[in-house]
Amino acid sequence: MHALDPLLSPARFEWGCATSSFQIEGASSADGKVPSIWDTFCSQPGRIKDASDGREACDHYHHFATDVRLIAELGFKHYRFSIAWPRITTVDHKANLAGLDFYKRLLDALDQHGITPNATLFHWDLPAHLEGGWLNRDTAYRFADYAALVAQHLGDRLPRVATLNEPWCSAFLGHDLGVFAPGGQNRAQSLVAAHHLMLAHGLGMQAWRSVQAKTSLGIVLNPELCDPLTDKPEDVKAARLAEQERNDCFLNPLFGREWPDALLQQIRELGAIRREGDLSICAQPLDFMGLNYYTRSIGKAPVSTSDATRGYTFVPPTAPKKLTDIGWEIYPEGLTRVVQNLQAQWPLPPMWITENGAADNTGLAHGAVDDGMRCDYLEAHFEQVAELIRAGVDIRGYYVWSLLDNFEWAHGYSQRFGIVHVDFQTQKRTPKRSALMLQKLLCE
């Protein structure tokens, strides 16, 4: 790619790179950090593909100064990261000043390099001591306390803050499919978790605003685009249900709307968990919405009993479709389709693409990484973003996922999403061809 579309020029459009705390920080028990549910999950045999964990990861906790310098050298003026709740609070819900200091040092380094921080309060690393996790309504109130604490200690230095990252993953991968922490497999519980996450979002927004009124506040979602395998009515219905779970379940509460009937029927406990006024708490005014987009899915009518509880079965993409190394279809036009789909249904605030990227496991050869597939993937998605803006959609920035190769959750270190290669033995960072491509585009 030789040049950016003028609509994406860094003079008028925000370019950044993204990471999350558990995936890069390491130092999992340093300076008073307490365990998160992901520390616990990683310690359970069979949970993580390569039996790895986040104890060291990219050791960003000790290498943050190098990493920030790298962000600046690559030409990014914006950096999205998450704050680790179990690093900055104690088991008795007090501030852990040593943990907070790490983020102060990180913000100082970003400031010195003229990089604007874009923080997320919760990117899945829930403190393990919160009993019942997201199944317990109390966790939503604990999140509000945590949000207020971050606002008090760091708020004046954070111009934009998202409450949650991809709550669908915490709720459904964590409590229905069982592939994410805490590993639950109970459909109704995943909906309980979804409700408590959205309540936490609303309470967190209120708590933050009571401390720091000037911060731009929002949430980051990963909306689904699910195409039916065939035109048969049962497949069309199944694909729609998959979208409702991923989209309506989160977007409806954001705008004070009830869940669709199909979801309500799956959760007999709703009466017990939903309290009067919850929906209006969830529907706090949003300053922005972050969208994470990687691929689409294909759905058909359920084939197994467990699929029947959720109403759909996903069909893995097969040849001749082009796939990334993690097996996800490369489908850039899905970004346009998913945004149009959301726009048709909800009154969206200004949007940022807060994550987009590819697992491309190309290794180091002669000191370089020629990740051509990732370059093509990114380029194709940049074109979609430019077209959306041309069509009048209010998209204000793009963050590549990810700055660094990192701990890819249940895949451990077997999937590399970084534009910068990390040697996990030596912690050496090597910018890949994709990083150099971005550097050229952003710095010209």
Active site residues: 166, 355
Q: Does 401 bind ligand IFM (CB under 6 A)?
A: yes
Answer for which of 166, 224, 235, 243 binds ligand IFM (CB under 6 A) is: 166
Asked if 125 is part of the footprint of ligand IFM (rule: CB under 6 A), the reply reads no
- Distance CA(207)–CA(210), nearest Å, equals 5
25 binding ligand IFM? (CB under 6 A): no
| Residue burial 339-354, b: 16+ Cβ < 10 Å; e: rest | bebbbeebebeebbbb
Q: Which is nearer to ligand IFM, 76 or 122 (CB)?
A: 122
Burial class of residue 206 (count of CB atoms within 10 Å of its CB; 0-12, 13-18, 19+): middle
SS3 state of residue 96: coil
Strand, helix or coil at 222?
coil
Closer to ligand IFM at the Cβ: 28 or 292? 292
Min CB(402)–ligand IFM separation in Å: 7
CB contact at 8 A, 332 and 380:
yes
Residue number with CB closer to ligand IFM (23 or 313): 23
Q: Quick one: 20 or 163, whose CB is closer to ligand IFM? A: 20
CB of 20 to ligand IFM, least distance (A): 5
- Residue with Cβ nearer ligand IFM (13 or 417): 417
Chain-centroid distance of CA 152 in Å reads 24
Q: How many residues bind ligand IFM (CB under 6 A)?
A: 8
Residue 260-289 contact track with ligand IFM, rule CB under 6 A, x = bound: ------------------------------
Whether the ω angle into residue 20 lies within 30 degrees of 0, i.e. cis, is no
Interaction with ligand IFM in 350-369: which residues (CB under 6 A)?
A: 355
Q: What is the smallest separation between the CB atom of 206 and ligand IFM, expressed in angstroms?
A: 26
Q: How far is the CB of 401 from ligand IFM (least distance, A)?
A: 6
What backbone phi and psi angles, to 5 degrees, belong to 400?
A: -80, 135
- Interface of this chain with ligand IFM, residues 404 to 423, rule: CB under 6 A: 408, 417
Q: Minimal CA–CA distance to 140: which of 36, 33, 286, 274?
A: 274
Residue 404: CB minimum distance to ligand IFM, A: 11
Q: Which of 8, 13, 16, 20 binds ligand IFM (CB under 6 A)?
A: 20
Q: Which of 360, 230, 346 is nearest to 289 (CA)?
A: 346
Burial of 77 (0-12, 13-18, 19+ CB in 10 A): middle
Q: How far is the CB of 417 from ligand IFM (least distance, A)?
A: 6
User: Who contacts 393 (Cβ-Cβ below 8 Å, separation ≥6)?
Assistant: 339, 343, 351
Site for ligand IFM in 210-249 (CB under 6 A): none
Distance, CA of 139 to CA of 128 (rounded, Å): 11
Q: Which is nearer to ligand IFM, 233 or 316 (CB)?
A: 316
Nearer to ligand IFM, 251 or 281 (CB): 251
CB of 328 to ligand IFM, least distance (A): 9
Residue 33 near residue 27, CB atoms below 8 Å: yes
For every residue of 385-396, DSSP letters joined together read HHHHHHTT--EE
- Binding positions for ligand IFM, 28-67, rule CB under 6 A: none
Residues 287-316 that bind ligand IFM (CB under 6 A): 292
Applying CB under 6 A, the residues found at the interface with ligand IFM are: 20, 23, 166, 292, 355, 401, 408, 417
